[in-house]
Structure 1
Amino acid sequence: MTTKNYTAFVSHSWDYDKQLKNLKSLIEKNSTITIDYSEVTVDNRINSEQRDYIRGVLKKRIISSDVFLVMAGMYTSYSDWMKWEIETAKKNNIPVIAVKPRGAERIPVIIQENADVIVGWNSNSIVINIISAIENSSV
């Protein structure tokens, strides 16, 4: 079986950086795909405080991604950056996959209204939906 390589932007909260790392580890457990990640992290920041500049950099990364993953924690409701990232992905026809953090019972409205699919904290489910979303968006 051939391993497919994709680019993903993961919208997340820096306050929950461990969830991002855990998500990446979960995806890496599945050997059918590899992912190059393009999001901005606590360890890989944009060296600017200019909002328009930051948005420009983020937009380039989002629209050059094959898929947009978003951590579907309730904190998303309170993050203007995450809301903007989701809206940017949707406006540019990037497939949006929401991943429910382990144990999460509620999903923010912004995610319910914009996610193409919402998946649980399961490696196979996440990977299958990444492949499906990308293949369906390129048709």
Structure 2
Amino acid sequence: MYRLFISHSWAYSDAYEKVTKLIDEQGLSYYNHSVPMNDPIHSCGTDSQLRAAIDAKVKNTSCVLILAGVYSSYSKWIKIEIEIAQQYGKPIIAIEPWASEKTSKIVKDAAHKVVKWQGKSIVDAIKELA
């Protein structure tokens, strides 16, 4: 079973839901370490408490998936998730949104693999890197 942390912003929760659906449709057996919408960790308190909560989620994963939309370049938390993944040597998979003219250079530069918005591509990358 793969253990995945799928980075996302709840402001773009539809993208997160589409990615999990793409993975589910491929029949991959995985445990989702991502932060559930009904229990957001941003209510943890201070930035250091939030960082510790993200660290605890990422530490035990097989790999980290990050949506490489341009908003990712401006998110301090995605940058922190990348730092934490790198600290633990976790493979990072960047997922480029369909028909996106601009994507996050920060995410793509940190990624071990960049894939398109397709279930098979995402799952193949997970199996290859995790």
TM-score by shorter chain over 0.5: yes
In the alignment, structure 2 segments of 5+ residues that lack a partner are none
Q: Distance in 1 between matches of 2:87 and 2:100?
A: 27
TM normalised by structure 2 equals 0.93
Tell me the residue number matched to 2:33: 38
SS at match of 2:64: strand
Kindly provide the amino acid, as one letter, of the partner of residue 73 in structure 1.
G
| CA displacement at 1:51 relative to structure 2 | 1.3
% identical aligned pairs: 29
Kindly provide the amino acid, as one letter, of the partner of residue 113 in structure 2.
V
Give the root-mean-square deviation of aligned CA atoms: 1.2
In the alignment, structure 1 segments of 5+ residues that lack a partner are 135-139
| CA displacement at 1:48 relative to structure 2 | 1.7
Structure-to-structure mapping, 1:1-139, within 5 angstroms: 5-31=1-27, 33-46=28-41, 47-134=43-130
Larger radius of gyration, structure 1 or 2?
1
| CA displacement at 1:105 relative to structure 2 | 2.5
Q: Distance in 1 between matches of 2:4 and 2:99?
A: 24
TM normalised by structure 1 equals 0.87
| CA displacement at 1:111 relative to structure 2 | 1.3
Contact 1:70 1:99 in 2 (8 A): yes
Number of residues of Structure 1 aligned to a counterpart in Structure 2: 129
